[in-house]
Amino acid sequence: MTIDEIRDNFELLDEWDDRYRYVIELGRTLDPMPEAEHSAENKVNGCVSQVWLSRQIDRGGNGEPRLKYLGDSDAHIVRGLIAILLTLYSGRTPQQILSTDALAVFDEFGFREHLTPQRSNGLRSMVERIRSDARESLAAAS
C-alpha cells in the first residue's frame, strides 16, 4: 500500500469513527514483529502505549543504505499510526527519510485535531526515532 492509497481512502471517509476504524485496520496489516524484537533497545520512549520499532539496514545493489522497519504496539490505534509511518519511511534511504515530513502528512489527514496530546507526543517520538536512525546512518556512511 502507498501513502497515496491511504490518502485516497481517508478522503472517502467523512466520519472520524470510520477513519479510526480504517487506521485500526491498517494496524492489522503490519508484519508481525518477533518477540525478541520487543526489546528495551527497540522501545520508543515518550509514548503512553508500549511501542517498538526495530530497524534493519539493507544495502541495495548500489550499496546505498535503506532503512527497513518492523513496528508494534499494545494499542490498536497506535499500530495503525505505525502502519502509516512505515508506509512513509520503511525501505527508504536516509536522505528520503529526512526529506519526508511525516507530521505534515498526519496533519493533512486531520490527526492533529483528533489525537490526544499524549498520542500526538508519542507520534512525534516515533518520527524522531526514525529520523535519528537516518541521521546515524548518514553519519556512519561518511
Which residues are identified as catalytic?
A: 47
The gap between the terminal CA atoms of the chain, to the nearest Å, is 32
Name the nearest CA neighbour of 111 among 141, 85, 73, 134.
85
| Whole-number Å distance between alpha carbons of 131 and 116 | 23
Looking at this protein, which amino acid is placed at residue 14? D
**Three-state DSSP state, 140:** helix
- Contacts of residue 10, defined as CB under 8 A and 6 or more positions apart, other chains included, come to 19, 22, 109
